[in-house]
Amino acid sequence: MYQSIHSSHRYAGARRLRGYGMLVLAVCLLALGASGAWAQGTGYWHTSGNKILDANGTEVRIAGINWYGFETTDFVIHGLPTQDYHTVLNTIKALGYNVIRMPFSNQLVESNPVPTDYGASNSNGFINTDLVGETSLQIMDKIIQNAGNIGLRVILDNHRSEAGNSNEANGLWYTSAYPQANWIADWQTMVTRYSSFKDPQGDPVVIGVDLRNEPHLLIGSISSGACWTGDTATNGAYTGCPTSNTAQNWPVAAAAAGNAVLAINPKLLVFVEGIDCYDGSCDWQGGNLAGVATNPVTLNVANQVVYSPHDYGPNLYRQPWFTTTTTDASLDAIWAKYWGYINTAGTAPVWVGEFGTDNTTSDIESTVAGSQGQWFQGLTSYIAANPTLNWTYWALDGEDDYGLLDSGYDPTPLSATKQSLLAVMQFPLTGGGGLACPVPALVPQNFAGTPVSSSQVNLSWTAVAQPVAGCTVTYNIFRSTTGGFTASSTNQIATGVTGTTYADTGLTGSTQYYYVSKSVDVTGTTQASSQIGVETLAGSSSGFTLAPSSPSLSITQGKTATDTITVTDAGGFTGSVTLAATGLPSGVTGVWGTNPTTGSSVLTLTATTTATTGAFTITVTGTSGSTTAHTTFVLNVSTSAAGFTLAPSAAALSVTQGKTATDTVTVTDVNGFTGSVTLTATGLPSGVTVAYGTNPTTATSVLTFTASATATVGTSTVTITGTSGTTTATTTIALTVASSTPSTCTVDYVISPQNSSAFGAAITIVNGSTAVTSWTLTWTFANGQTISSLWNGIETQSGTAVTVKNEPYNGSIAAGGTLTGIGFNGTWNGTTNAIPTAISLNGTVCTVN
């Protein structure tokens, strides 16, 4: 029954709308109350019975919010394109939440890509400029550290293996690409990385690890996922949970990972979620902790385990207990049965890691029996009435149907009623300093000087809008009689200017140059300062100004980038201007398109593969006779290592027993790579060998695959690895070995249900005259269909090509036998959803019905 609720994510798609609500009073109170008289939440936390205590033995309560995104294919936390992340953190704190549950995937930890969905500008000005060019983990670093700076704590959540928008469909904590060893090693990486993160008082920011999101037993109607020690129920193919191995036994695996975490940091809380079914009784995925009563999770360090259920209402799935006779008491009994009893008995603390509802009035509060509103109001009342229970609401994200904020991530919650129900259960922590203020954007802007007399010039400039209420921006003015000067205390003439104009008086010369920088202050403490201005000429009757088209420019080692500098005449100036750029980092050169120019000129920057990386302020000086002007832009140089890529001419290849087949692998050099590459192949099926035409190669090599007469029939993923010194690259080929004496087979492919964007399909295999002990189905979609989740099989999809292999429990099909129960959910284009015309079973093309 869980095929329809593999995901507790409620992604509705970002509308990218923009409003502007402000919690000014709450934010100001936050800033004023930054230092409490007592340190509630000090140090690392531990457990005592059903309570969580801080390092001083003071009871604390997790009352937080889920902020997701790092686990998705965006590889970055959501909301950054529309809101500065400092604003979001301040909003979380101002609304009374004390902990952020932050999901991530194993793929993010191991690949650590550079995401692009971090924002650049919105209606409030430039945002998140300090995230440009950062990797996913570097962005996570900044969000976690800034959360700690204002007194928030973080729980890291391993949400899934491959990046995606749901929990792991197989119900386990590992996949073939990310086995259990990787899962544990990735946790060790994350714990090592974040154990040193402290808030201004020296308290840890990351206080715990949620080992795995929503493990579950049932995959469709088959029990092939996670089970709990001690369960002996018979359910489908399930005959009881193994007592010691970690292939399905979730508590055993959780103990292994928990002990690995505690070996690095023995003071972290270890959160263990439930499963779905135990002793034949099923709850939400991750919500069933009935097995704790007889088989609790025991770690090498005592008093660090917290149990974590998830709970949702009938809008997500109508569980049997949502009926026309549902009462508050009957709901309380369900929660007590599956996880509340742990808290009541004082066994261990309980943390409801996920629960959430839509933002309509009826879905938040209702007296209708069995309704979403009855469930949500009842659950919040149940948690409020049991103050030792802990919780994090799902979710903050404005893209989510259950989102607390709107799609612009503005500070005002979408539903004041929902926020008020959650506020009743909140728990303040002390520590942290004031607000989270962003580093000023390095965005140079021209400013103008208007001579009033021979002794006065009025300066004015354009301000970059400050997106965080309560963070004060001030400006500093510098002056010199020499152009291109460096701002210093010796030439500073004003500081703390709050407006965007300044009158400079008492001048004695005809030519003056000015420079403006800005500072961001919180309660009088400067957090950062950066240049935003360029020099201008005072007392000159004519001249010109310069302006870049891109005030912030990025370039990768080995690449080029361009910026256009525009010359604007002033006071009747008509001359041509010669441009020059200074401040270029080592390894970066610039070439002008038109120079001198009377209008604009394109500056082409080229970075070598060894160019110095970082952010650099580039000064452009224009000269025309004795008249000069300056402007600046910021150049961000990022790393791109030399290497190579591999690509086969055919991503899917078939070879018949006793025959050969060829494929060509091409080596493409990247960023000046010039070496030769040695190719190797792994994952070859039994009875298949490969020979290389040219090896090592600098260009291409023909791979000849030879299958013996007894080669294993079916489809295998063959990995081709190229090695040149310490540099490696891989590609894959789906190699199908076809039987030399194929038998007749039939595949029934039935589409049902189907709407305008999604569909489901059921697959039945009718085997031919030869029994099989393992099977592989392959087909190609004709209309760009995509599989979202598949049950009773292991699916991979590359473009339109689909491969489905058997699960460990359903590999055997007798001669003439039939296998049912395979199915999937997918998406289509809303116009054509054709049934595949050719589906192969172990390399044999079957009749498709």
Give the model's confidence band at 574: pLDDT under 50 very low, under 70 low, under 90 confident, else very high.
confident
For residue 182, the model assigns a pLDDT of 96
> pLDDT tens across 456-486, in order?
778 877 665 555 666 777 788 888 776 666 7
Q: Are 444 and 526 in contact (CB under 8 A)?
A: no
How confident is the model at residue 737, as a pLDDT? 87
Residue 17 predicted with pLDDT over 70:
no
DSSP codes, 725-748: TTEEEEEEEEEEEEPSSPPP-EEE
What's the confidence (pLDDT) of residue 32? 30
Residue tagged active-site, from 273, 354, 399, 535: 354
CATH of the domain spanning 3-11+52-423? 3.20.20.80
What CATH class does 447-638 carry?
Answer: mainly beta
CA neighbor of 23 nearest in space, from 72, 81, 106, 87: 87
Q: What is the average pLDDT value for the chain, to the nearest integer? A: 85
Q: Which residue has the higher pLDDT, 278 or 556?
A: 278
Query: What percent of the chain is predicted at pLDDT more than 70?
Result: 85
pLDDT at 539: 44
Q: Which of 86-100, 202-216, 533-547, 668-682 is predicted least confidently?
A: 533-547
Q: Of the given ranges (569-583, 676-690, 699-713), which has the lowest mean pLDDT?
A: 569-583
Of 90 and 10, more confident: 90
Query: What are 808's two structure tokens?
Result: 């460990």
- What is the spatial distance between Cα 653 and Cα 734, in angstroms, rounded to a whole number? 6
Residue 830 structure tokens? 């809303």
Q: Does the pLDDT value for residue 429 go beyond 80?
A: yes
Q: Is 59 a catalytic residue?
A: no
> Per DSSP, what are the bridge partners of residue 392?
64
What pLDDT digit, counting tens, does each position of 751-767 carry?
988 888 889 999 999 99
Q: CB–CB of 738/657 below 8 Å? A: yes
Q: Which residue has the higher pLDDT, 93 or 233?
A: 93
pLDDT at 641 over 80: no
What local confidence, expressed as pLDDT, does residue 524 receive? 43
Q: Would you state the pLDDT for residue 542?
A: 57
Q: Annotate 79-113 with DSSP letters as a single string.
A: TTTTS-HHHHHHHHHHTT--EEEEEEEHHHHHH--
HEC per residue, 164-182: CCCCCCCCCCCCCCCCHHH
The token pair at 233 is 């129920």
Task: Please report the pLDDT score of residue 558 as a whole number.
Answer: 77
Averaging pLDDT over each range in 353-357, 489-493, 519-523, which range is the top one? Answer: 353-357
Tens of pLDDT, residues 287-333: 999 999 999 999 999 999 999 999 999 999 999 999 999 999 999 99
How would residue 540 be classed by pLDDT, with cut points 50, 70 and 90?
very low
Quick one: pLDDT at residue 67?
98
pLDDT in the model for residue 55: 95
pLDDT-derived band at 285, boundaries 50, 70, 90? very high
Mean of pLDDT values over 628-637: 83
pLDDT score at 11? 36
Across the range 356-362, mean pLDDT stands at 96
The single residue listed with the structure tokens 């650590």 is 112
For the stretch 613-632, pLDDT in tens is 888 889 898 898 877 777 88
Q: How far apart are CA 256 and CA 664, in angstroms?
A: 44
Identify the DSSP state of 422: H
Alpha-carbon span 91 to 89, nearest angstrom: 5
Q: Which two tokens stand for residue 331?
A: 């709901």
pLDDT of residue 500: 79
| Mean pLDDT value across residues 583-592 | 93
Q: Which CATH number fits domain 746-848: 3.40.50.1370, 2.60.40.290, 3.50.50.60, 1.20.120.1770?
A: 2.60.40.290
The DSSP element (H or E) to which 514 belongs, if any, is strand 513-522
Which residues on adjacent β-strands are paired with residue 619?
Answer: 582, 632
| Phi, then psi, of 226 in degrees rounded to 5 | -80, 140
Instruction: Using alpha carbons, select from 45, 82, 37, 85 the residue that is nearest to residue 61.
Output: 45
How big is the CA angle at 628 (ends 622 and 634), to the nearest 5 degrees? 50
In CATH terms, the fold of domain 643-738 is: Immunoglobulin-like (2.60.40)
The domains of the chain are located at 3-11+52-423, 447-638, 643-738, 746-848
Residue range 162-193, pLDDT digits in tens: 999 989 999 999 999 999 999 999 999 999 99
Catalytic residue flag (residue 214): yes
- Mean of pLDDT values over 52-72: 97
**Which of 71, 134, 214, 399 is labelled catalytic?**
214
**Nearest-angstrom CA–CA distance, 598 and 87:** 43
Domains 447-638 and 643-738 alike in fold: yes
pLDDT recorded at residue 625: 85
The whole-number average pLDDT for the span 659-668 is 93
Full-model pTM: 0.62
Predicted local confidence at residue 295, as pLDDT: 96
Q: What percent of the chain has a predicted confidence (pLDDT) above 90?
A: 57
Nearest CA-CA partner of 476 in 426, 436, 526, 516: 516
Mean pLDDT of 731-735: 92
CA atoms within 13 A on the CB side of 607: 26
Q: How confident is the model over 106-150, as pLDDT tens digits?
A: 999 999 999 987 765 554 456 787 788 889 999 999 999 999 999
Q: How far apart are CA 720 and CA 277, in angstroms?
A: 41
Give the up-direction half-sphere exposure of residue 69: CA atoms within 13 A in the CB hemisphere. 26
Confidence band for 797, pLDDT divided at 50, 70 and 90: very high
